[in-house]
Amino acid sequence: MDDLTNPHPSPESTSHPTPDPTIWPGPGESPPPWPRIDPYAPVATAPVERPRGRRTVALVLAGSLAAATIASAGTAAFVLGTRQDAAPGTANQTSSTATPSPISLAGLDGSSVVNVAKAASPAVVTITTVTGSGNGPFGSATGVGSGFIYDAGGWILTNYHVVEGDGTLTVTLNDGRELPGRVASTDEAHDLAVVKIDGSGFPTIPIGSSANLQVGQLVIAIGSPLGEFTDSVTTGILSATGRSVTVADQATRQRRTITNLLQTDAAINEGNSGGPLLDARGQVVGLNSATASGAQGIGFAIPIDAAASIMASAMTH
């Protein structure tokens, strides 16, 4: 032991053998007044401050999310990053002259959600895709997603990644009927597709507008999470608009960026893809498409206005 009464010990006296942590202090020995230093303890470092901005946000999300999957069982992709498309004051902001949407959480209660669910659920469908014959070395693959009927003649809007490939489509209606479906039109850039089933007089959901949506307003998602819990209804708020996500197909790993998405905290899970995102009036304002699986309450939907063109052109052609 060193002489602790000497305030200026000689250089030789400052060299101490590393104490054995299993016996230190020894029997009848009191710990010395200096703090014990564990030579094997990890060294603490100060956090590195990064400049804030769109690029920083994208890098942090890309590195911190283990995986964010497109919400469709068997037809998944990974969200690699996300960003806000435009800075404050640019075109993505609602103009001061635009008519604000009257839909908000104020004055709404559970009965509003009940009424929307009753009116919309009959038009929400489950889409099952089977690819491969089952006789080859890779067998067959099954994917499950959602969709909704927007025209009584059997026209259904869903996500492109739900029906991607040369698979066989089966559309299960709310009443339990199973009908064969075919892809009538696709828009891969916006992850949209229209599926047609034969028949008429099908229930439909009214189409709204995503132009004047306000952050904080009530939104309602309906779909078939996990491909099993059909007609599931979840609620939340519109968390943000103008989001962009970079996704990579689970099978091919090919990346693409989908822009101008709606962000919501309404629960969205695998199998919800293609299902409607509705406002408190029961009108479709978005198409549920992706969820960040490594986070809570971060889902993405395609604004319904982006689907207007493909919905109309599929029916005319």
Q: 190: domain CATH number? A: 2.40.10.10
**pLDDT value for 19:** 52
pLDDT at 110: 61
Residue 166 has pLDDT above 90, yes or no: no
Q: Verify that 177 and 240 share a domain, yes or no.
A: no
Higher pLDDT, 47 or 67: 47
- Closest C-alpha among 303, 307, 308, 312 to residue 101: 303
Residue of 201, 238, 235, 209 whose CA lies nearest to 116: 235
Looking at the fold, whether 142 and 280 belong to one and the same domain comes out as no
Q: Exposed, middle or buried: residue 165 (CB in 10 Å: 0-12, 13-18, 19+)?
A: middle
What pLDDT, in 10s, does the model give residues 135-157?
Answer: 555 666 788 999 999 999 999 99
Active site residues: 161, 191, 273
SS3 66: coil
> For residue 230, how many other CB atoms are within 10 A of its CB?
20
Question: Which of 196, 217, 249 corresponds to the end of one domain?
Answer: 196
Are 185 and 301 in a shared domain? no
- 301 in a domain, yes or no? yes
Name which of 3-7, 8-12, 76-80 the model is least confident about. 76-80
Q: Identify the pLDDT of residue 138.
A: 60
Is the pLDDT confidence value at 120 over 80?
yes
Residue bearing the bigger pLDDT, 181 or 90 = 181
- pLDDT class for 28, splitting at 50, 70, 90? low
239-276: pLDDT as tens digits: 999 998 887 665 556 777 888 999 999 988 888 899 99
Is residue 148 domain-resident? yes
- Domain edge (last residue) among 144, 164, 196: 196
Work out the number of other CB atoms within 10 angstroms of the CB of residue 205.
Answer: 22
Number of neighbours of residue 115 by Cβ within 10 angstroms: 13
Better-scored residue on pLDDT, 166 or 153 = 153
Confidence of residue 229 (pLDDT cuts 50, 70, 90): confident
How many domains are contained in the chain? 2
Residues 117, 131 within the same domain: no
User: Mean pLDDT lowest for which of 76-80, 172-176, 286-290, 301-305?
Assistant: 76-80
Joined together, the tokens standing for residue 88 give 């404050």
Look at residue 228 in the predicted model and tell me its pLDDT.
76
**Domain annotation covers residue 281:** yes
Asked whether residue 293 is assigned to any structural domain, the reply reads yes
Residue 223 sits in the same domain as residue 107 = yes
> Is residue 27 in a domain?
no
Return the pLDDT at 251. 55
Does a structural domain hold residue 28?
no
Q: Partners of 187 in the beta sheet?
A: 192
113 and 248 fall within a common domain: yes
Where does a domain end: 167, 196, 225?
A: 196
Angle 125-131-136 (CA atoms, 0-180°, nearest 5)?
Answer: 155
Is the domain of 78 the same as that of 211? Answer: yes
Work out the mean pLDDT of the chain and round it to a whole number. Answer: 73
User: Rounded to the nearest 5°, which phi and psi values hold at 63?
Assistant: -85, -25
pTM beyond 0.85, yes or no: no
Res 253: pLDDT: 67
For residue 78, count other CB atoms closer than 10 A to its CB: 20
Domain housing 83: 54-88+103-121+205-305
